[in-house]
Structure 1
Amino acid sequence: MLALICGSAIACNPSTTLEDEVQSIISEYPDATVAVAVRDASTQTTLDILSDRSFHAASTMKVPVMIEVWKRIQTGRLDLDSTLEIQNSFRSIVDGSQYSIEEDTDDAIYERLGEYMTISELVYQMITVSSNLATNLLIDFLGAESIQVTVDSLNAPGMRVLRGVEDLKAFDLGLSNSTTARALATLMELISQGRAVDETSDSRMVDVLLDQEFNEMIPAGLTEGTRVAHKTGQITRIHHDAAIIYPPDAPPYVLVVLIEGLDDENGSAALGASITRKVHAALRSGV
């Protein structure tokens, strides 16, 4: 569903044009299930395509983990300079049995096993290089239940944080973290507006999101000079990106693309970039 109120900053097309054009792009990938959510407060534009359909969250669930950290800092229950010991041993939510992280995009953290890292360092690694080990350490410390309470308080119930990464016993039983495009769009919009925690905390979260190192989807569909504060998520046949997009000399907007069903990660990245290109042209033509 698309709601569009045209302002002077964008070209005004019939209200269904953007949705139709995005759907046309999606139709070129018949094996893919795709959800899209757009939130543009400056023009009161919203776009929702399968935005309430639940997907495996992959690493997008690291956004609410970060929000919970900053909520505790803001309320004085945690300090960014507090430290956690780096260890690779976790307990399954199914039966309490131990497991360890076997696959990760962050090699450097494993060189520090037995040492201590600050909360600030762990959050940065969790977001920018999607460190699974940093994520599990933070979830163990914060508690998945507390993270979920915070998510629910932000009116994003489509995001479900049950556990840490690589709990294979839970995965086999269908106990996985999940999200909807609507939930991620809600969280990213709140961060962009300084309403997830507070203006100072949310600004710090944006700074971390801007340093994201995996830029093959939403950033790839944008014009040069456009800053993107975003979090990706990728596992087998799952490829997501949730972004706050900052065009030069224009207000920011939120775009979420969730993709399931494609084996080729280059293909899913290209699909997400094509959707981004179409949305950006509609919302910020000439920017």
Structure 2
Amino acid sequence: MLKNYPKTFLLLCSVFMVCACSNRMTLNKLQDQISSRLAEQPGDFAVAFKDLTTGDTLLINDQAFFHAASTMKTPVMIEVYKQAAAGTFTLNDSFVLKNEFKSIVDSSVFSLNANDDSEKELYRHLGEKRTLYNLVYDMIIKSSNLATNMVIELVNARNVTQTMRQLGAKRIQVLRGVEDSKAYEKGFNNVTTAHDLMVIFEKMAKGEIVDSASSQAMINILLNQQFKEIIPARLPRDVKVAHKTGNISHVQHDSGIVFLPNGRKYVLVLLSKNLQKEEQAIKAMADVSEMIYNYVSNPDK
């Protein structure tokens, strides 16, 4: 059939096909792009990405340990829903707001400083009651440290870590609540890896944490996240992200599930430490998120 076409036409077709193939993004090219972008920033980074439709996976430093910062609040939420399903309590149970907690080092009492908390409203209502659901909600979407410490005291940090092991997250370690300075001075910190956060978010996306209803309930909370500087920052408005951020000095994290309008979804975890220019690092991580979105949403890759 091709013998009647001019040789020049066939040559042009071949060139077009070669160019089209060379322009298609591959996982290796994507990884090179991401590594190059992150290499522009002083600091250490980890990336874990998994397309839940195709199974495409990209891992960079995914087994390296990072201070978990507020990403540990997702495992804490998981433990709440696990214990609620077991009948230990209900999410509608109410608890008195307080600001006195015990150090894991010696059980000495410490309090949180409202000025160091991203959510300050709860401090104005100490002595009043809030439902467990509301505490979990504020812990996730506003990253309330006060709510977090109350919830961890309820479910026990050891149980959180044990549940992570049962889910296949072998390196996440939740030892304590927030601002336990004696524990911090002794190096007792919550830690995570990009790989382990990817594991738990994949299971959540598949409805495999506790049960499908609990998984969806947790996703619904995560979808209301108020801090959007990294994963969602450069994505189209019709893309939904159920995620939890985390930051302390020289550390910026984001982790969660990205939902595309066409029904596809993927897990993305971006961790960082030893940052010298945090604003620039945040922009670089947002760029990485956009690169991954373009890879997933591009039908010609």
TM-score, length of structure 2 as denominator length: 0.89
Residue 17 of structure 1 pairs with residue 29 of structure 2: yes
Q: Distance in 2 between matches of 1:69 and 1:104?
A: 22
Q: Within 5 Å, which residues of 2 pair with 1:1-287?
A: 13-29=25-41, 31-102=42-113, 103-285=116-298
Q: Distance in 2 between matches of 1:286 and 1:241?
A: 26
Amino acid at match of 1:48: L
User: Matched residue of 2:199: which SS?
Assistant: helix
Runs of 4+ in structure 1 over 6 Å off: none
Q: Distance in 1 between matches of 2:47 and 2:73?
A: 19
User: Matched residue of 1:157: which SS?
Assistant: coil
Amino acid at match of 1:83: S
Q: Check whether the contact 2:43–2:276 (CA below 8 A) recurs between aligned residues.
A: no
Moved more, 123-132 or 71-80: 71-80
Q: Distance in 2 between matches of 1:171 and 1:221?
A: 35
Q: Check whether the contact 2:240–2:260 (CA below 8 A) recurs between aligned residues.
A: yes
Amino acid at match of 1:54: F
Q: Distance in 2 between matches of 1:273 and 1:39?
A: 17
Moved more, 124-133 or 94-103: 94-103
Q: Which runs of 5+ in 1 are unaligned?
A: 1-10
Amino acid at match of 1:37: A
Instruction: Please list the CA deviations of residues 204-224 of structure 1 after superposition, one character each: whole Å capped at 9, or x if unmatched.
Output: 000000000000111012122
User: Matched residue of 2:197: which SS?
Assistant: helix
Instruction: Please list the CA deviations of residues 18-39 of structure 1 after superposition, one character each: whole Å capped at 9, or x if unmatched.
Output: 111111111111x110000001
Cα shift at 1:239: 0.3
* Structural RMSD (CA): 1.4
User: Matched residue of 2:281: which SS?
Assistant: helix
Q: Distance in 1 between matches of 2:234 and 2:246?
A: 17
Cα shift at 1:112: 1.2
Cα shift at 1:16: 1.3
Amino acid at match of 1:108: E
Q: Check whether the contact 1:220–1:273 (CA below 8 A) recurs between aligned residues.
A: yes
Amino acid at match of 1:203: Q
Q: Distance in 1 between matches of 2:241 and 2:55?
A: 20
Would the alpha carbon gap of residues 157 and 15 (structure 1) be closer, same or farther in structure 2, given more than 3 Å must change?
same
Q: Check whether the contact 1:236–1:263 (CA below 8 A) recurs between aligned residues.
A: no
Q: Distance in 2 between matches of 1:211 and 1:226?
A: 13
Q: Which runs of 5+ in 2 are unaligned?
A: 1-22
Q: Distance in 1 between matches of 2:233 and 2:292?
A: 13
What residue is the counterpart of 1:3 in the other structure? Answer: none
User: Matched residue of 1:220: which SS?
Assistant: coil
What residue is the counterpart of 1:6 in the other structure? Answer: none
What residue is the counterpart of 1:8 in the other structure? Answer: none
Amino acid at match of 2:247: Q
Cα shift at 1:15: 4.2
TM-score, length of structure 1 as denominator length: 0.93
Q: Distance in 2 between matches of 1:77 and 1:140?
A: 14
Which one has the largest radius of gyration? 2
Cα shift at 1:286: 6.8
Would the alpha carbon gap of residues 15 and 110 (structure 1) be closer, same or farther in structure 2, given more than 3 Å must change?
closer
Identical-residue share of aligned pairs (%): 39
Q: Distance in 1 between matches of 2:99 and 2:130?
A: 14
Cα shift at 1:264: 3.5
